[in-house]
Amino acid sequence: MTKLSVNINKIATLRNARGGNVPDLLKVARDIQDFGAQGITIHPRPDERHIRYQDALDLKDVVTTEFNIEGNPIPEFVDLVLKVKPDQVTLVPDAIDAITSNAGWDTIKHKSFLQEVVSEFKRNDIRTSIFMDPVPSMMESAAATQTDRIELYTEAYAVSFARGDKQGVLPYSESARKATDFGLGINAGHDLSLDNLNFFVKQVPGVLEVSIGHALIAEALYFGLQNVVSMYLQKLS
């Protein structure tokens, strides 16, 4: 079964909108795990507009499932990850002013840089994943970085699926097969939802984990957080 890691950035956004500690990020993380999710994901950014660096440190002792920290490996981010030592770090090439992640790594152009970063994290026993577009030809160079996994950036799939075009999943299927051929594990995330998740994991072989935040939290406004986590787990089973 593909594991569900819940991105709690949007909980932090809501908290930060009013100051104080409502909703309580740490309590929500505990609850999500109690509801059955197999992981917690955060994506701190330099301006700390949602997840703060201190949140990552505070969550270290709260996350008892899998702790995944995403972000652009600038020096401050690398230092944070090495302090926290999560189960997994996902490297995302997002610009400082990006509203959300909008592209994967060019693993040919940035191979040397990624090799250096991956090596540092793996020396500290942190599993690494590289955020990537569904480009099969990039998988060999991704494997050359010695990363453990890739995370397929699924926005393009979600957009095509919403239009009724199920052919949009094909590059993901091909990329996953190619990545597997090179010994890479497969994660996926971005704009996956209750509507499109089940079809994706049925069509894309070997997906070990999905990281879902925005859609899940939005759906929880209607169905409740515990119900939504259960609904996602059902989609994955």
Active site residues: 43, 70, 190
Residue 109 φ then ψ, to 5°: -65, -40
Which two three-digit tokens encode residue 233? Answer: 């787990």
Name the burial class of residue 22, with classes exposed (0-12), middle (13-18) and buried (19+) by CB atoms within 10 angstroms of its CB.
Answer: exposed
Compute and round to an integer the Cα radius of gyration of the chain.
Answer: 17
Per-residue buried b or exposed e for 68-84, using 16+ beta carbons within 10 Å of the residue's own CB = bbbbbbeeebbebbeeb
